[in-house]
Structure 1
Amino acid sequence: MKVVIAGGGFGGLRLARKLNNKKGIDVILIDQYNYHQFQPLFYQVATAGLDASNISFPLRKVFQKSRNIRIRMAIIQRIDTTEKMIHTDIGEISYDYLVLATGAGTNFFGNVELEANAFSMKSTVEALQIRHRMMENLELAVTTTDPQTLNRLMNIVVVGGGPTGVEVSGALAEMKHYVLPKDYPELDFRKMNIFLVEGSSKVLGAMSDKSSDQALKYLHQLGVTLLTNSQVEGYDGNELRLQDGKTIAASTVIWAAGIKGNIPGGFESVTVQRGNRLKVNEFNQVNNMQNIFAIGDVAAMISADYPNGHPQVAPVAMQQADTLSLNLLKIKENSFATLEAFNYKDKGAMATVGRNLAVVDIPKPKWHFGGFFAWLIWMALHLMLILGVKNRLFVFLNWVYNYLTYDQSLRLIFREFNRDNSTRNI
């Protein structure tokens, strides 16, 4: 049985590992990158806390000893569901069963201007681009003499008060206080503002009110300027416009306000759900497509408990991969009557705002806690989930070093000098 897994994120990688060396199943894992990316720590790459290699792990290394799993680095262009054929930029790949684990991308809600000028943070490359822009702006700020230009270069706006927005805002505020003044003594960082813009009335809307209130207190403590009930109208690269008429001068805007499922071409006839997600049944089977499954952020399993589908978080994708791996083995044995329905076990949610500052919600028993202990729990869990012993060690050592010194050492700007002495950013 030939199974093709599209996507090497949390769900796709977990499914491939569960099917590793299973007799009677050949697996092809397709991803546009040749490495797995640990998305929860993208914000630390963007704020120079971690190196990109610390949170990336080569997919081929994961399966060096595998007898049935092969990796293909390719971009999926279209899927022919009738012929069971995947069209990619490296050729065609056939399948008996296809599992879509393509994850989610940034949702700009149709705002073309925002998409062209704001930064998203859904890949390691995008996180590095944010870091690079921030460092370049500070280099320009050192030599500028115009007060308005200086203000624009130093300001940073984060849009979206979910976990990503809260975490990157807190990390930027800590850089402003502890790191950047030592690097740029010429600049007055009292003039630097970190704005967090949120469309609703509170941050961390998916978590408990206690977590939201505590996170709000932590953000104020770090000096983040929070603008709630504020909708973004547009951003031209220099000025962010809000629907209430207010404007914020900023050369860097990070968009963390929404995501949408990455659905490959070929599913135009399928009715998609809210958030550009494919509707699946209780076995993660795409509606009216017997040989195609979807897991993780791209799948919407509608139920009484989850009328809009499950949360688009890593634990859902990983649990769905576990269930689907068992069902694929049953399908191989023609045991369709014994397929296991997916049942999500919510183990809680957490977010960190800064050093010693985090919030954790546990559903059963219903429990909330924050502060230093929650921060330790957050760090321990993320260390366990990172692939590779060496990566875990490097991340841990970086965290210890940063904690003791209030510093990071990854503020690098890479440029290529051409023969005419012009430069090109890498």
Structure 2
Amino acid sequence: MKINIVESNLERIVIVGGGFAGLMLAKKLAKANYQIVLLDKNNYHQFQPLFYQVAMAGLEPSSIAFPLRKFFQGNRNVFIRVTEVTAIEPENKRLQTPLGIVNYDHLVIATGADTNFFGNAALAAKALPMKSVSEALYLRNRILDDYEKTLSITDMEERQGYIDIVIVGGGPTGVEIAGSLAEMRKYILPKDYPEMNCEEIEIILIQSGDQLLKGMSDEAAKKALEFLQKLDVKVILNNRVTSYDGEIVTMKDGTTIRSRKVIWAAGIHGAIFKGFPADAIGPGNRLKIDHNCRVLGLENVYALGDVALMSGDEKFPEGHPQVAQVAMQMGKYLADAFIRKQKGKPVGTFAYRDLGSMATIGRNKAVVDLPWFSFQGFFAWLVWLFVHLFQLLGVRNKVMVFINWLWNYITYDQSLRLMIRPHVPPKEEKSE
């Protein structure tokens, strides 16, 4: 059975994934002479850099999500289907999905990345990832729910397990979560939970390497560590988590920490599906691509963003960093390549322009690395705010996020601390 999509004499480009790369590509091709089919398991685009603010009750989910159909209103050659791709059949130029078969003339894989637990099943079962809006909401519920339970627990050791939080991974996500939690502990929780001694709450960040923010400058890494330590975050370097049973975190050196919440921000790997030849899959479960973003060994199949691994670049011998800027630039490049190819014009190769990297560490503090210089502190924080606000889709989202940030800055108080649980229908009792 085929998915019901209008047949056309236009070449069909199927894009799998509505993240930064897939959305940029579809946006640039929306008015081109192609039929565009966008497949995604959600009906919205998610702004991943701000997931942690949803988890920390700083933003509502709708502020960082944008409906895909709203984005393409009026574009008659763009078709959106909400489904997952389960397999590719490159020999037949088609995809398998739960809704049916999707044929393609050109296929673009922009599925992004999943949380990488490095094969540790226990960690995968018990740790809390944050790669989607729903996972961010779940984390928010867990944090608030555990603090509610804490008020009724008299045993000090048991209570400590509920209130302490461990974050694994010292990249931008881990650092931003740690800083946000420290701010919440200092300014929010004492007002919400006056019965709780918030000074007992420990926030622990574990990084396997010898510095935070790998890939950023040494200056940024040192300043991030300094900012976190001033916020009383316990930072553990040169150690890694080896197991977690839901109660006890065990590290490589044998040290243990009691915590019911382990936030996993330690790594990602490409989110690919069945059907790709083994020699097309590289380290990190990423698809190997050439300098035109074509998957090696496959005809008319491309990969963009986090799921793509372009080798042979002197500046990035292990592939480009898995960040939004790479994804958007790849999407823009490939759209231009499709348009130029259709017009019979020559197509160049992809070249990544590094615009810099940044991370925020709580209120008024951030680190920014630009290609020509680095800076930290309040001005860096303002730059971080502006860049992320600018990249958000939709005027409403920009306005809502700006208002939330302004309110939080003035009052030191978020207003979104709601525990929103999914409704579970009651089980029907079996009649005897």
TM range (shorter): over 0.9
SS at match of 2:180: helix
Give the 3-state SS of the residue equivalent to 1:79 in structure 2.
strand
For residues 150-189 of structure 1, what are the alpha-carbon distances to aligned partners after superposition, in whole Å with 9 as ceiling and x for unaligned?
0000000000000000000000000000001111111111
Q: 1:21 to 1:271 in 2, by over 3 A?
A: closer
Q: What displacement does 1:327 show?
A: 1.1
Match of 1:332 in 2: 342
Q: What's 2:71 paired with?
A: 62
1:311 paired to 2:317: no
In the TM superposition, what is the alpha-carbon distance from 1:419 to its structure 2 partner?
Answer: 9.4
Q: Using the TM superposition, give the Cα deviation of residue 270 of structure 1 relative to its aligned residue in structure 2, in angstroms.
A: 3.1
Which aligned pairs between 1:267-416 and structure 2 lie closer than 5 A?
Answer: 267-302=276-311, 303-333=313-343, 335=345, 338-363=346-371, 366-415=372-421
Change (3 A) 1:347 1:414: closer
CA contact (8 A) 2:280 2:295 kept: no
CA distance in 2, matches of 1:40, 1:341: 28
* Structure 2 equivalent of residue 237 of structure 1: 246
Quote the offset at 1:332 in angstroms: 2.8
CA distance in 2, matches of 1:414, 1:184: 19
Is 2:280–2:296's contact at 8 Å kept on the other side of the alignment?
Answer: no
Cα distance in 2 for partners of 1:321, 1:49 equals: 30
Q: Quick one: which amino acid aligns to residue 341 of structure 1?
A: T
Counterpart Cα distance in 2 of 1:362 and 1:412: 37
Matched residue, 1:26:
35
Find the residue that maps to 1:76 and give its secondary structure. coil
1:271, CA displacement in angstroms?
A: 3.8
Percent of paired sites with the same residue: 48
How big is the shift at 1:274? 1.6
CA distance in 2, matches of 1:63, 1:6: 16
- Give the Cα–Cα distance (whole angstroms) in 2 for the partners of residues 350 and 416 of structure 1: 34
Aligned residue identity for 2:23: L
CA distance in 1, matches of 2:402, 2:410: 12
Residues 207 and 239, structure 2, Cα contact 8 Å, conserved in 1: yes
Q: Structure 1 CA distance, aligned partners of 2:365 and 2:20?
A: 26
Does structure 1 retain, via aligned residues, the 8 Å contact 2:280–2:297?
Answer: no
- Cα RMSD for the two superposed structures: 1.4
Matched, 1:220 2:229: yes
The one-letter code matched in structure 1 to 2:414 is: Q
What displacement does 1:334 show?
Answer: 5.0
Kindly indicate whether the alpha-carbon contact (under 8 Å) linking 2:141 and 2:421 is maintained by their aligned counterparts in 1.
no
Size of the alignment, in residue pairs?
416
1:310 partner amino acid? H
Equivalent pair of 1:323/1:340 in contact (CA under 8 Å):
no
Moved more, 258-267 or 409-418: 409-418
* Aligned residue identity for 1:163: P
The 5 Å alignment of 1:105-116 reads: 105-116=114-125
Q: TM-score w.r.t. structure 1 length?
A: 0.96
Q: Is 1:11 matched up with 2:11?
A: no
| 1:15 CA displacement | 0.3
SS at match of 1:205: coil
Return the alpha-carbon distance in structure 2 between the equivalents of residues 118 and 415 of structure 1: 19
Structure-1 residue corresponding to 2:7: none
1:151 paired with 2:157, answer no
CA drift of 1:121 comes to 0.5
Which whole-Å deviations, capped at 9, do the CAs of 1:211-249 have from their partners, x for residues lacking one? Answer: 001001100011100000011111100111001010110
TM-score, normalisation: structure 2:
0.94
- Alignment partner of 1:38 out of 26, 29, 47: 47
Give the unaligned 5+ runs of structure 1.
Answer: 422-426
CA separation in 2, counterparts of 1:218 and 1:38? 25
Alignment partners' CA distance in 2, 1:381 and 1:144: 43
In 1, distance between residues paired with 2:66 and 2:426? Answer: 37
State the 1:148 CA deviation. Answer: 1.2
